[in-house]
């Protein structure tokens, strides 16, 4: 079959639909801990920084999992990787529900994050192999599964949390992971033909040969930029529920704001995918970083309920397309046969930034007694991210070749 009949084909779009369905459930482990954080803090009688430890452990596991499972996808394919990771996630949910100390809970959340990672970078890397002309929008849709998961499940599980506690939430999620992810993973057993991979390899090597960076240097620069942007991104995403509790609005309102933020992020990811298909990943990254910085400033003057809903939506609309754009830059300049590990490395860096920022914001809150300095810390990291991306844009300007078909 010719390359143009394989890439961007009807099967490619059907596969994208299945990928999105899996991502909706596989990513829930990343968001559940944010919603239950106030309940965990109350049950164990700990401060905000300690209550943030399970989230930090989740994100560290999520980061490592993106890289390690990405390598497994390159070697064995996405289906085997999904089956193993989903089983680990379900087991971790069950063990978390039985935890009696914050340290035990945090350790389990590392493995929960590792298993959850299969729903992000590895799925993105896999679907990127099936598209060429519309790779930007395909990656954006696959990545949107992460935000849709965070927008849908916290609200759907709020009744379980309010009536039965956070442990019951984890039991429900263990069952959901096994029932949904394992059967759907069998629908992705087909692998992209070697001929299509070789053709994409030629395209990437052509771009790579024109770039002023060695692959390793470009990868590490993208990783550093990813850490900086996600330290900034984590402040509202990780602490919006706790922020609302502090203001007296309660965790349900915080969950609604998080859902609104993430739904805005879904819209942002789709728009950014369309932009990236025309302007490239680096330009898309810089646009997103600038908009995120402006949105962070908007949180500072407001504590009223309606303004916070509006700012949460604006923040989601501003930053949602940033992380998928990193994957697109990797695919524009890196070999297709290394898509899983290369995308996984950069995704790992962005997630480590989320983990660092989530803990750092809690630590700053404990020192200062408010989130104002935590927002300012995020803004400072955002400026560093913009500086790195501006350097990349200047060095890479005019060197991105048109998509070859």
Domain of 240: which CATH number? 1.20.1250.20
Which of 20-29, 58-67, 262-271, 360-369 has maximum average pLDDT?
20-29
Domain-embedded: residue 403:
no
8 Å CB contact between 86 and 182? yes
Mean pLDDT for 371-382 is: 91
Q: How far is CA 52 from CA 95, 225, 230, in A?
A: 19, 24, 16
Query: What pTM value is reported for the model?
Result: 0.77
Q: Is residue 401 part of a domain?
A: no
Lowest mean pLDDT among 87-91, 194-198, 256-260: 194-198
- The per-residue pLDDT for range 272-318, each reduced to its tens digit, is 888 888 888 889 999 999 999 998 998 887 777 888 888 888 898 88
Averaged pLDDT, 131-150: 87
Tokens of 366: 């404990």
In a domain, 404, yes or no: no
Say yes or no to pLDDT of 336 above 80: no
Please, what is the end-to-end C-alpha distance for the chain in angstroms? 14
Once rounded to an integer, what is the mean pLDDT over residues 235-239?
82
The residue whose two tokens read 């803090």 is: 41
Residue 389's domain comprises: 3-396
What value does the mean pLDDT take over residues 56-71?
Answer: 88
In a domain? residue 365: yes
- Contact, 59 vs 120, CB < 8 A? no
**Does residue 405 sit within a domain?**
no
**pLDDT recorded at residue 403:** 40
Considering the chain, what is the average pLDDT of its residues?
Answer: 84
Query: Domain for residue 232, yes or no?
Result: yes
Number of neighbouring beta carbons within 10 Å of residue 80 = 14
- Domain assignment present for residue 175? The answer is yes
Q: How many domains does the chain have?
A: 1
Paired tokens of 185: 């993973």
82 — pLDDT class (breaks 50, 70, 90): very high
The confidence score (pLDDT) of residue 402 equals 38
Assigned domain for 215 exists: yes
Q: What is the average per-residue pLDDT within 22-36? A: 87
Q: What is the mean pLDDT of residues 75-102?
A: 93
pLDDT class for 168, splitting at 50, 70, 90? very high
């Amino acid at each position: 079959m010719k390359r143009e009949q394989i890439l961007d084909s009807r099967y490619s779009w059907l596969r994208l639909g299945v990928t999105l369905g899996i991502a909706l459930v596989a990513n829930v482990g990343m968001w559940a801990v944010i919603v239950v954080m106030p309940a965990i803090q109350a049950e164990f009688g700990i401060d905000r920084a300690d209550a943030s430890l399970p989230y930090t452990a989740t994100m560290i596991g999520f980061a490592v999992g993106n890289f390690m499972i990405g390598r497994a996808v390159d070697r064995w394919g996405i289906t085997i990787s999904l089956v193993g990771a989903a089983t680990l996630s379900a087991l971790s949910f069950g063990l978390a529900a039985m935890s009696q100390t914050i340290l035990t809970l945090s350790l389990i959340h590392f493995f929960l994050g590792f298993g959850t990672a299969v729903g992000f970078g590895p799925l993105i890397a896999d679907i990127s192999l099936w598209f060429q002309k519309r790779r930007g929008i395909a990656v954006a849709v696959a990545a949107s599964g992460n935000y849709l998961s965070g927008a849908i499940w916290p609200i759907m599980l709020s009744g379980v949390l309010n009536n039965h506690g956070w442990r019951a939430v984890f039991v429900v999620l263990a069952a959901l992971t096994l029932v949904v992810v394992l059967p759907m993973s069998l629908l992705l057993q087909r692998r992209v033909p070697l001929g299509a991979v070789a053709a994409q390899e030629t395209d990437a090597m052509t771009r790579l040969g024109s770039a002023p960076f060695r692959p390793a240097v470009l990868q590490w620069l993208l990783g550093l930029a990813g850490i900086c942007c996600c330290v900034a991104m984590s402040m509202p995403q990780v602490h919006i529920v706790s922020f609302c509790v502090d203001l007296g609005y309660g965790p349900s309102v915080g969950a609604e704001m998080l859902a609104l933020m993430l739904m805005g992020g879904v819209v942002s990811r789709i728009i950014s995918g369309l932009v990236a298909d025309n302007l490239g990943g680096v330009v898309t990254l810089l646009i997103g970083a600038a908009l995120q910085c402006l949105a962070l400033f908007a949180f500072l003057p407001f504590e009223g309920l309606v303004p916070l809903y509006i700012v949460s939506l604006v923040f989601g609309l501003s930053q949602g397309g940033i992380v998928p754009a990193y994957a697109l830059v990797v695919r524009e300049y890196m070999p297709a046969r290394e898509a899983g590990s290369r995308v996984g490395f950069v995704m790992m860096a962005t997630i480590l930034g989320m983990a660092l920022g989530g803990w750092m914001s809690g630590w700053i809150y404990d020192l200062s007694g408010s989130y104002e300095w935590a927002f300012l810390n995020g803004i400072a990291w955002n400026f560093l991210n913009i500086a790195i991306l501006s350097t990349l844009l200047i060095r890479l300007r005019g060197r991105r070749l048109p998509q070859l078909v």
